[in-house]
Amino acid sequence: FGAEIPLAALFDQPTVRGLAAVIDGAGRGDVLPPITVADRSHPLPLSFAQQRLWFLDQLEPGSVEYN
């Protein structure tokens, strides 16, 4: 619907009619661009979780304690 509403609004309104009123009264948020396919011609950056695992492996190479 292009509207940003707080999560609590889903639970505060017991009916669809009430939720529709909240959505109608909400300001319209920015329209985000569509998700596109990432360029795979070069390595992708690591996620924060992958960076953590890499860092722990650098501290103690081959350790199985984390798993």
pTM over 0.85: no
Cβ burial, residue 23 (10 Å; 0-12/13-18/19+):
middle
Question: In this structure, which amino acid lies at residue 27?
Answer: G
* Residue range 5-53, pLDDT digits in tens: 888 988 998 899 998 888 888 766 666 788 899 889 999 999 999 999 9
